[in-house]
Amino acid sequence: MPITRRFVVAGSLARLVHKECGSERVTEGHFAPHSERQSHVRIESGRSQLILTSIGDSPDAPENITDLPGVHGEALLEVATGRVALQRSTLQLGSHQAFVDRFTAPAPLALASIEFASAQEADAFTPASWFGPEVTKDDSYTRRAIALSGLPPASEPAVSDAALNGLLDHIEGSTAQASARGSAPELMSAPAEDSTFAALRRLAASPTLTQPTFEVGEGTGTELAGSSRRPLLQPRPAAGAGDDARLASIIDGLSEALAQAPADQNGAGNEVAQSRWRWSAH
Q: What is the pLDDT of residue 245?
A: 63
Domain segments of the chain as ranges? 3-149, 190-216+232-278
- pLDDT tens-digit profile of 130-142? 999 999 999 999 9
Q: What is the pLDDT of residue 174?
A: 73
- pLDDT tens-digit profile of 76-125? 999 999 999 999 999 999 899 999 999 999 999 999 999 999 999 999 99
- pLDDT tens-digit profile of 231-271? 444 444 444 445 566 666 666 666 665 555 554 444 544 44
Q: What percent of the chain has pLDDT over 90?
A: 48
Predicted TM-score (pTM) of this structure: 0.63
Q: Using alpha carbons only, how large is the chain's radius of gyration in Å? A: 21
Q: What is the pLDDT of residue 35?
A: 76
- Mean pLDDT for 177-190 is 52
Q: Where are the beta strands (DSSP E) in 17-175?
A: 24-30, 37-44, 47-54, 64-68, 82-93, 96-105, 109-116
- pLDDT tens-digit profile of 256-267? 655 555 544 445
Q: What is the pLDDT of residue 243?
A: 58
Q: Where are the beta strands (DSSP E) in 167-282?
A: 213-214, 277-278
The correct answer on CATH 2.40.320.10 for the domain covering 3-149 is yes
